[in-house]
Structure 1
Amino acid sequence: MTSNISSTVPLWIDNKPIHTQTTIPVTQASTSKTIHHASSASSTEATQAAASSFSAFKSWRSTSHTTRRNLLQSVATHYADNASTLIAAQIAETSCTEAWARTNVNLSISYLNEIAAQISSVTGVIPPTEKPSTQGFVFKEPIGPVLCIAPWNAALVLATRGIASAIAVGCTVVFKASELCPQTHGLITQAFAESGCPDGLLNQVQCGRKDAAEVTETLIAHDAIRKIEFIGSAEVGKKIMGIAAKYLKPVLMELGGKCPVIVLEDADLEEAAKQCGMGAVLNHGQICFSTERIIVMEGVAERFKTLLVETMKGVEGPAGSAVSEGIKKHAEDVIRDAHEKGDEILVGGVEAASSGGRVALKPTIIVNPSPSSRILDEETFGPSASLYVVSSDEEAVALANRSAYGLNATVWTRDMARFMKMSRELEYGQVHANSISVYTSPTGSQGGVKGSGFGRQNGQWGLDEFVVEKFVTWCG
C-alpha cells in the first residue's frame, strides 16, 4: 500500500483521486498538531460520486458471486500485508492505542473473510402458488448504490464491514468518510482499488462540518442512492433518518448505547470486575458497546466495589486518549454534572489524565446517580460508568431496561438457566454472559433496538440488509 500520511487526502471517484480547493485540517488530539489535510467535498463532488456509483452498479450487479468473493478476499489479504500502515493511520488520526488499532485490523480481516464466505448463501426461493399452471420465484437482488456513513471510533472495522456487505451482494457504495480520520478511511478505499475494484464500485467523499448537512442531503436525495447505512450518535441519526424519510429511502442504523452489565451473586467477581473496568475505559470509552452501567446484587456489592476500584486504578493506560478536545469535554461535563448534583464518586472524577500529552480523563465510577444526573441515561463516550446495587433479578432487569437505548447487555453468572431467562427479558439487540461488553462476532447478528437503531449487520444478516426480494411468476 503506497500511502503518504503527510499528504492531503483526496476524494476518490471513478478510481481516481480528486483534490479540491477546500481542505480540512486533521488534528491529532494527543499532540494538538495538525498532521495532514483532506480534500473537502461540495454538493458537486457528491453528485459526481453518486452518478459514478449508479453507472458502476449497472454491471457490478450482474457479476458472479465468485468475482465478488475474490475481491473481498483480496482486500483481506491487502489489509494483512499492510497492517502497519493501517495501524499507524489510526493512531495518528484518532489518538487510539496501538492495541485498539491492531484489533481493528484483525477484526476487519475476520469480517471480510466471513462476508466473503457468506456470499453464496444469498439465495431465493420457489414458493407454491394458488394459480393453476403457474410457477413462482422469489429472487434476491441488490438494492442499488448504497451510501455508507461511517464513524471514527472504530475507524477501520465499522467502515469495512458496511462497505464489504453491500459490495458482496452486488451493490456499489458511496462512502462518506469521517472528517476526523479521512486518511484511515482513505486507506480502506485504496485497499479496494489496489485489489482490482472496478471504476465507480467504491467512491469516497469527506467534507468539513459546515458542509456536512448539504453534502449528506445531496447524496441521500440523489436518485441513484437506494439505501443509507449510518453508524454514529442518536442525535445525528435522527437527522439522517429525517432526511431519508423526506426522500423515502430505507436506512440501516447502529446508534449509541448505554450498555448495562449485571453481576449476580454466583459470578466470578474478580473476572467480572476486570472486564467491567476494561469495558468502561477501552478506547477512552469511545465505543457504543462500552460498559456504561454496572448493576450488582447487594449480597456481593461491597466485595465487588473493592475489586472494581482496584481495577479502575490500573486501567488508565489502556484507556488511551479522546479523539478530540470536544469529545473529551463532553465526557468531562457529564462527570462534572454528577459531581455538582452530589452523586458519590467511587473512583476517579473530573480531573484529567494528561501524562504523555494525552487528551484524556481519569477512569471514573459514579455510584447510584440521582434521577436528574446526565450520566443516568446519556452516553458519556468517556472512560466512566455508573454503579447500582439491587436485590433481585427482577429489579436488575427493570433497571437495565430503563433506558432509551438497547444495544448490548452482559450478565455475569454461573447459572445458565438463570442467564437465559434474563437474556430473554432484557431489551437489547445482543446479550452476553461472562464477557466484556465490547464484544461482537463476524458470525453473529449485530444491531440495536429502541434508541440504538434498527437493522442487522454481520454474516448473512448483514448481506440481507442490502438486497430486495422480487416475486416473479411464469404462467402457462
Structure 2
Amino acid sequence: MSSHKVPFELKNPDLLKYDSYIHGEWKKAKSGKTFEVVDPGSDKAWATCPDNDAQDVDAAMQSSQKAFDQWKISNPRKRAELLLAWHRLITDNRDDIAKILTHETGKPLAESQGELTYSLGFTWWFAGEAERITGTVQTPAAPNRRVFVVKQPIGPAVALVPWNFPIAMILRKAGAAFAAGCTMVVKPSPETPLTCLTLAHLASQAGFPPGVFNVLTTSLENTPAMSEAMILHPLTKKVTFTGSTRVGKLVAGLCARNLKKCTLELGGNCPFIVFDDANLDQALEQFQALKWRHAGQACITANRLYVQSGVYDKFTQMLVEKTKTLKMGHGAAEGTTLGPVTTPRGLAKAQSQAEDAVKHGAKMVLGTGKAEKNSTEDEGAGQGKGVGGYFMSPTVLTGMSHEMLMAREETFAPVIGLFRFETEDEVVKAANDTSMGLASYAFTKNVDRMWRLLENLEAGMIGMNTGNSSAAESPFGGIKESGYGKESGKDVAVREYLVEKTGTFTLEGQY
C-alpha cells in the first residue's frame, strides 16, 4: 500500500518528490527508514520521506564538492541565467507549490501565496547580484606597488532551515550561495521536507548541474546527529542556520571547532510600540498583518505589544474587535485567515505562557489561551494520530508585566499580551530588556522621537511606522542573541559566501 495519501490535487503531480536529492538522483536513506509528514490542520500523515542519518552525509558532501570544482569557475552570467530559469519555473508552478506548503505548515493558502511572492524576490534579486561581485585595486604608500583584492566562493555550504517559512529560507540562502558560486546541501525541517524537494526538482529542470543543490531529509529524532555530521564534515566550508537561539549556540560551537564561517538567524522577542500620537488605524493594520500571520509563528512577529497609556484602552478595544474577524480553520479551507500552529509542541508552550500570564495578574480579553476542541493539549500527543489539528483561537491579554514568561520568551503562537507604558525612556528600557535583538517596531508621528528610537532600540531591524519589512533588497539579521551575519540585501548576503584574497604586485620601472 502506498505511504503517500495526498489530500489535494495538483496541476503538475510530478512536482511532488519524496526522496532525498543527491547529485541529480532521488535517493533513499542507507538505513531504508522513513518518517511521516503530517498535515497540522488535521494531524493526519500524508507522505513519507527518507530518514537519513549521519552515514548519509558523506555522499552528499562529496557530490557538493565535485560540483563546486566546476561551479566556482562558471561564468556569473550563466549563474544568473540559471537563477532566472529557476525563478520562472517556481512562478509557473506557484499554485501547486502553495498547496504543498499549506499542507506542510498549516498556513492559509493566501499566506502560502504570500510566501511565494516574498520568496521569488530572492531568486530575482540574486540573479542580479551574481554579476555584481567585484574586487578592488589600490595604489599603496609603498613605491611601485599595486594591491588587488579578489573575491572567490568559499566552498560547499550547508543550510539548516526551519519549518515556518521553508520556501523563503531556502531561496534566500541558496540564491545568495549560487550567485556567489557556491554549492549547497540543504537539510529541511522534518515538518516541511516536500517543499524543499519540489524546489530541488525545479532547480534540476532549470538546468543547475548535479550536485549544486543537494537535499537530505531526516526525522526530528535524527536531526541533531545528522546536522552535526554535516557541520563537522571536512568538505563543509560554510554553514547557514535559521532557528532557535538555543540550537544556534550549538551550531556556532560546532563551527568554532574548525573555525568554519557561519551565519545565524535566530529567535526574536520583538517589541511593537504604539505611542499616543500614532495613527492607530495604521498601527493596527500593520500589527494584524505582522502578528497573526502563520498563527504567530515568525521570528520577526510582534511578541510584546507596548501601548502608551493615553491610547491603551482605545487601542485594546480596536485590537479585540479587529481580531474577532479572523476565521480559524484548515489552511486549505475557503475563507480561512488563521490556520493551526505547525506542531503540538507549539501549542503546549503557548498554553503554558498564557496560563503563567493569568497567574501573575493578566486579564484574558479574547480567546482561551488553550488548544481548541479536536486538538491536543498533550505535548506527546498528535504527530499523525489524527487528533484533528493543532488549533488555538487568537488570544489577547491585558495587564502584562515583565515577570511573566511572555515578556522573556519568544511566543510562537497566536497569543499576544499588552503592556501599558507612560514615557519614551520607560518603553525603550522595557523593549531592550531581552537577550534577543532581531526586530523592533515603533509607531509615532514625532520625527525626533522616531530618530531616537532608531538609534536606541537594540535590534538589527527597526520598523518605523512599519510592520513586516523583510524583503530581498533589505539586509536581514539580528544582534545580541538573535544571531550574526546578514541574509538578503545588496552585497552583504553574497559576501557571506565569499572569501577575499589580497594580492600585492611590484612593478619594475620608474613611476
Bin the TM-score by the shorter chain: over 0.9
User: Which aligned pairs between 1:143-154 and structure 2 lie closer than 5 A?
Assistant: 143-154=154-165
| Pick aligned residue for 2:404 from 354, 368, 373 | 373
User: Which aligned pairs between 1:214-229 and structure 2 lie closer than 5 A?
Assistant: 214-229=225-240
Give 1:361's aligned residue: 392
| Pick aligned residue for 1:119 from 115, 122, 130 | 130
Give 2:499's aligned residue: 468
The answer on 1:209 being equivalent to 2:220 is yes
Give 1:455's aligned residue: 485
The answer on 1:440 being equivalent to 2:448 is no
Does the aligned pair in 1 maintain the 2:350–2:369 contact within 8 Å? no
Distance in 1 of aligned mates of 2:121 and 2:220: 32
Give, as a single letter, the amino acid of the residue that structure 1 aligns with 2:154: I
The answer on 1:281 being equivalent to 2:311 is no
Give 2:452's aligned residue: 421
The answer on 1:70 being equivalent to 2:101 is no
Distance in 1 of aligned mates of 2:424 and 2:97: 44
Give 1:337's aligned residue: 356
Distance in 2 of aligned mates of 1:23 and 1:358: 22
Distance in 1 of aligned mates of 2:46 and 2:27: 20
Larger helix fraction of residues: 1
Distance in 1 of aligned mates of 2:266 and 2:154: 22
Deviation at 1:77, TM superposition (A): 0.3
Distance in 2 of aligned mates of 1:55 and 1:28: 37
Does the aligned pair in 1 maintain the 2:43–2:389 contact within 8 Å? no
Does the aligned pair in 2 maintain the 1:54–1:144 contact within 8 Å? yes
The answer on 1:161 being equivalent to 2:172 is yes
Give 1:107's aligned residue: 118
Secondary structure of the corresponding residue to residue 288 of structure 1: coil
Number of residue pairs aligned between Structure 1 and Structure 2: 474
The answer on 1:408 being equivalent to 2:439 is yes
The answer on 1:83 being equivalent to 2:94 is yes
Distance in 1 of aligned mates of 2:408 and 2:64: 40
The answer on 1:55 being equivalent to 2:66 is yes
Deviation at 1:364, TM superposition (A): 1.7
The answer on 1:10 being equivalent to 2:10 is no
Does the aligned pair in 1 maintain the 2:240–2:264 contact within 8 Å? yes
Deviation at 1:44, TM superposition (A): 2.4
Deviation at 1:105, TM superposition (A): 1.0
**Is 125-134 or 376-385 further displaced after alignment?**
125-134
Distance in 1 of aligned mates of 2:374 and 2:220: 30
Identity of aligned residues (%): 27
| Pick aligned residue for 1:320 from 335, 339, 352 | 339
Distance in 2 of aligned mates of 1:461 and 1:361: 39
Deviation at 1:86, TM superposition (A): 0.8
Does the aligned pair in 1 maintain the 2:41–2:339 contact within 8 Å? no
TM norm structure 2: 0.89
Distance in 1 of aligned mates of 2:506 and 2:363: 73
Does the aligned pair in 1 maintain the 2:153–2:497 contact within 8 Å? yes
Give, as a single letter, the amino acid of the residue that structure 2 aligns with 1:189: A
Does the aligned pair in 2 maintain the 1:11–1:40 contact within 8 Å? no
Secondary structure of the corresponding residue to residue 292 of structure 2: helix
Does the aligned pair in 2 maintain the 1:28–1:93 contact within 8 Å? yes
Deviation at 1:4, TM superposition (A): 5.0
Secondary structure of the corresponding residue to residue 209 of structure 1: coil
Deviation at 1:247, TM superposition (A): 2.6
Deviation at 1:32, TM superposition (A): 1.5
Secondary structure of the corresponding residue to residue 435 of structure 1: coil
Give, as a single letter, the amino acid of the residue that structure 2 aligns with 1:323: T
Gaps of 5+ in 2: 1-10, 329-336, 376-387
Deviation at 1:5, TM superposition (A): 7.1
| Pick aligned residue for 1:174 from 185, 189, 210 | 185
| Pick aligned residue for 2:257 from 246, 252, 270 | 246
Does the aligned pair in 2 maintain the 1:297–1:392 contact within 8 Å? yes
Does the aligned pair in 2 maintain the 1:178–1:185 contact within 8 Å? no
Distance in 1 of aligned mates of 2:458 and 2:327: 31
Does the aligned pair in 1 maintain the 2:274–2:444 contact within 8 Å? yes
Does the aligned pair in 1 maintain the 2:158–2:236 contact within 8 Å? yes
Does the aligned pair in 2 maintain the 1:332–1:361 contact within 8 Å? no
Over 3 Å counting, the alpha-carbon distance change for 1:53 and 1:194 in structure 2 is: same
Distance in 2 of aligned mates of 1:353 and 1:417: 45
Q: Deviation string for 1:28-64 (max 9, x for gaps)?
A: 1211211000012122221111111111111111111
| Pick aligned residue for 2:424 from 393, 396, 401 | 393
Over 3 Å counting, the alpha-carbon distance change for 1:368 and 1:5 in structure 2 is: farther
Distance in 1 of aligned mates of 2:16 and 2:82: 28
| Pick aligned residue for 1:136 from 137, 140, 147 | 147
Deviation at 1:285, TM superposition (A): 0.6
The answer on 1:383 being equivalent to 2:414 is yes
Gaps of 5+ in 1: none
Distance in 2 of aligned mates of 1:415 and 1:406: 24
List, as ranges, runs of 4+ consecutive aligned residues in structure 1 with deviation greater than 4 Å: 1-7, 353-358
The answer on 1:266 being equivalent to 2:277 is yes
Deviation at 1:175, TM superposition (A): 0.8
Secondary structure of the corresponding residue to residue 136 of structure 2: coil
Over 3 Å counting, the alpha-carbon distance change for 1:281 and 1:16 in structure 2 is: same
